[in-house]
Amino acid sequence: MERVPHSRRVLRVGQVRAANRAAVLRLLRRHRQLSRAELARRTSLSEASVSRIIAELMDQGLLVDLGNGPGTGGRPGARLELNEERFQAIGVDIQNWETQVALGTATGRIIRSERFRTPQSPAEALDRIAVSVAGIIGSLHEPLVGIGVSTRGLVDSRHGVAELGSNPTWVHVEISDYLAGRTNMPVYVENNVRAAAVAEYVNGNTDVQGAHCLLFVLIGEGVGMAIVMDGKVHHGPNMAAGEIGQMVIADQGGPERHNRSGCLEVLASDLATCDRYNNLAGTKARSSTSSSCTQQMRQICQLAMEGDPHARAAVTATARFLGIGIANAVWALDADAVVIDGPVTEAWPLVSAAIRDQFPEGPLFLNFRNLVLRPSALGGEAAVIGAITLPFAPIFSYDGTFA
Q: Domains in the chain, ordered, with CATH?
A: 9-82 (1.10.10.10), 88-197+384-396 (3.30.420.40), 209-376 (3.30.420.40)
Does pLDDT of 208 surpass 70? yes
- Per-residue pLDDT reduced to its tens digit, 359-400: 999 888 988 999 999 999 998 899 999 999 999 998 887 544
Distance CA 11, CA 22 (A): 14
The answer for 83, left when phi > 0, alpha when psi is -120 to 50, beta otherwise, is: beta
Q: What percent of the chain has pLDDT over 90?
A: 71
Quick one: average pLDDT of 237-253? 89
Closest to 104 in 3D by CA, of 383, 342, 341: 383
Count the helices and strands in the chain (H runs, E runs): 15, 16
pLDDT on residue 10: 53
pLDDT on residue 346: 97
Distance CA 386, CA 224 (A): 15
Distance CA 128, CA 125 (A): 5
Q: What sign for the dihedral angle of Cα 192, 193, 194, 198? A: positive
Does pLDDT of 75 surpass 60? no
- Per-residue pLDDT reduced to its tens digit, 141-181: 888 999 999 999 999 999 999 999 878 899 999 999 999 99
Quick one: average pLDDT of 39-59? 93
Q: Confidence class of residue 209 from pLDDT cuts 50, 70 and 90?
A: confident
pLDDT on residue 5: 43
Q: Strands 213-219, 337-341: parallel, antiparallel or unpaired by DSSP?
A: parallel
Report the predicted TM-score, pTM, of the whole model to 2 decimal places.
0.87
Q: Name the most confidently modeled range: 209-213, 250-254, 347-351.
A: 347-351
The residue ranking higher by pLDDT, 206 or 89, is 89
The residue ranking higher by pLDDT, 9 or 204, is 204
- Per-residue pLDDT reduced to its tens digit, 310-363: 999 999 999 999 999 999 999 999 999 999 999 999 999 999 999 999 999 988
